Amino acid sequence: MGLLLWSLISTFPGSGPSAKEKEFIMENGIKGIASLLAVERTGTTVNNIHQYAFSFRVQPDSGSAFEMVRKKLIDPIYMPGISVGMRIPAYTIPGNEDQTLILWEKAGIGDAF
């Protein structure tokens, strides 16, 4: 149930992890770097805003790297600032990769999310 809720929360803009969830991940998680591997349109649009699937390879400062996908609705004005290969700070909860926080604001495109 938690995984389903986390997936739903991360699908819609402005409804990502709550401030409390973000705080929990940053306090209890391991810092790392998320490298953007791919960006693909999903075919879903809401109010002419396209949804994209972002594929990441996350390398925590300690532990094994893993790959993950996050879907987000992104206004087209932000897409030029998002490029494959960019590296974004992240935090992840050990043993629960679904609770990974990508810190887009640290990459200079925080308003996109």
CATH code (residue 82): 2.40.50
Domain count, the chain: 1
Counting residues of the chain whose pLDDT is more than 70, the rounded percentage is 81
Instruction: Give yes or no for a contact between 6 and 98, defined as CB atoms under 8 angstroms apart.
Output: yes
Distance (Å) of CA 9 to CA 21, 81, 92: 11, 23, 16
**pLDDT at residue 9 tops 50:** no
**What pLDDT, in 10s, does the model give residues 54-87?**
999 999 999 899 999 999 888 888 889 899 999 9
Phi/psi region, residue 108 (left: phi>0; alpha: psi -120 to 50; beta: rest), is left
Q: In what order do the strands lie in the sheet with 96-102?
A: 66-74, 49-60, 30-46, 87-93, 96-102
Report the predicted TM-score, pTM, of the whole model to 2 decimal places.
0.78
Burial of 41 (0-12, 13-18, 19+ CB in 10 A): exposed
Domain of residue 34: give its range: 2-112
